[in-house]
Structure 1
Amino acid sequence: MDTSKHTMNTLFEQLGLPSSDNQIEQFVSNHKLGDSIQIADAPFWSVAQRHFIQESLAQDADWSELIDILDAQLRH
């Protein structure tokens, strides 16, 4: 059982993306979502990333809260 505290940095690591604070800020600046696009359907995810996001949200996994935060950041 994974009892580690997840952070935005560890979410980006899980997604296989650069995960420093600056790299996360750059990702959010470069990728935006329109109101009609669900986060898992964003065109910038790989198949594996999309699957991870879909599964995490469907199972209300530990990652869900961070995915929701990322979703909000990608919309502003």
Structure 2
Amino acid sequence: MSVRPRMTHLFEQLGLDSSEQAIALFIATHQLNAHTKITQADYWNEGQRQFLAEKIASDGEWAIIVDQLNESLHEDSV
């Protein structure tokens, strides 16, 4: 049985602190402008960028979580 990925799992996969407070702080301090795709953000390293791109392309449950993060990172630009 596979566990449905969640935002905490995504942050773990990205090698980031996956506590709720850390995720909220990351989102608040890493907002992107409307023209910047999540995979183009300059704060990812190459491995993180590749992971995000793969998950978006996979169009599976991970893609939904990455999309949620993407929306959260663009909150200020809406």
TM-score (norm: length of structure 1): 0.92
Which residue in 2 is equivalent to 1:31?
30
- Divergent runs of 4+, >2 A: none
Matches within 5 A, 1:1-76: 3-76=2-75
Which deviates more, 14-23 or 53-62? 53-62
1:4 Cα deviation after fit? 1.2
Q: Specify the code of the residue in structure 1 equivalent to 2:50.
A: H
Q: CA RMSD in A?
A: 1.1
1:62 Cα deviation after fit? 2.5
- SS of 1:27's partner is helix
- SS of 2:32's partner is coil
Segments of 5+ residues of structure 2 without an aligned counterpart are none
In structure 2, what is the Cα distance between the partners aligned to 1:48 and 1:61?
20
TM-score (norm: length of structure 2): 0.90
Q: Specify the code of the residue in structure 2 equivalent to 1:46.
A: N
1:6 Cα deviation after fit? 0.9
Segments of 5+ residues of structure 1 without an aligned counterpart are none
In structure 2, what is the Cα distance between the partners aligned to 1:61 and 1:43?
25
In structure 2, what is the Cα distance between the partners aligned to 1:42 and 1:74?
10
- SS of 1:63's partner is helix
